[in-house]
Amino acid sequence: MKKYIFIAVFCFAAVFIISSNFAFATASGPKLFKKYYCIDCHTLGHEGGTVGPDLSYIGKTKSLSWIKAQIFHPSSHFIIGTKTEINGKVYLIRMPGFKTIPNSVANKLAEYIKTFPSIRANLSYKRPPKGMRLFEKDNCIACHRIDGVGGKVGPNLSHVGKTKSLSWIEAQIVDPKVHFRYGVPTTVNGHTYLVIMPEFKHISASQLNTIARYLKSLK
């Protein structure tokens, strides 16, 4: 009997600890911004919706208390709502008030929003790798897709690094006929052509290596 009581108490304690972690621990600013659907209507930094205004620069013009008041009572700042164009039609949209958000959570959310525009947020935007920029600049992208972006005349290169070696890729760029003597049958607008990739003989050795290393990294 004692054993069962012990197990029951243990289970209860475990459930309590787990659920309290979810329910009471205050999540981070970015998590709260998602949890309360702010992100569905507002862009903050580099992601979010466009129904409401972009909040990425709001810390410059609005105080912490103003932002907090906006969360609870948007109608005290915006009496009739804001005109917003969605799919070509203009609507008057009002932000819903979030009256049930606990005070401490609203503080945390407002503090997070107030940090924008933040240096941290700007740094989190990664500059694309040099190989990727050359891939665009040298127009490889006109014929090749990587992760859904680019043309369809040549093969999709999103995973080319999985099967091809660095030297194979370099050879392909400089002299594709070594690998594909007659070209590859490709359907463009319903007609099938034998397409040979153009040679990129003019490309400098370092540029060649940078592009090839970038492609080799695509697994």
The 195-214 contact track toward ligand HEC, x by CB under 6 A, reads: xxxx-x----------x---
Amino acid at 35: K
Q: Which is nearer to ligand HEC, 24 or 135 (CB)?
A: 135
- The phi, psi pair for 79, rounded to 5°, reads -75, -45
**Helices 103-114 and 64-72, axial angle in degrees (round to 10):** 130
Over the window 76 to 95, marking each residue x when it contacts ligand HEC by CB under 6 A and - when it does not, the resulting string is: --x--xx----------xxx
State the minimum distance, in angstroms, from the CB of residue 120 to ligand HEC: 18
**CA neighbor of 153 nearest in space, from 140, 134, 162:** 140
Q: Which residues contact 178 (CB under 8 A, 6 or more apart)?
A: 171, 172
53 touches ligand HEC (CB under 6 A): yes
For 59, the token pair is 């810390």
Helices (H), 102-145: 103-114, 119-123, 130-137
Number of residues that bind ligand HEC (CB under 6 A): 51
Member of 45, 59, 71, 114 binding ligand HEC (CB under 6 A)? 71
Spatial distance between the Cα atoms of 105 and 26, rounded to a whole number of angstroms: 7
Q: Does 56 bind ligand HEC (CB under 6 A)?
A: no
> Which x/- pattern over 137-176 shows residues binding ligand HEC (rule: CB under 6 A)?
-xxx-xxx--------xxx-x--x--------x--xx--x
CB of 125 to ligand HEC, least distance (A): 21
R_g of the chain computed on alpha carbons: 27
Q: Which of 172, 182, 175 is nearest to 144 (CA)?
A: 172
The residues of the shown chain that bind ligand HEC, judged by CB under 6 A, are 36-38, 40-42, 51-53, 55, 58, 67, 70-71, 74, 78, 81-82, 93-96, 98, 109, 113, 138-140, 142-144, 153-155, 157, 160, 169, 172-173, 176, 180, 183-184, 186, 195-198, 200, 211, 215
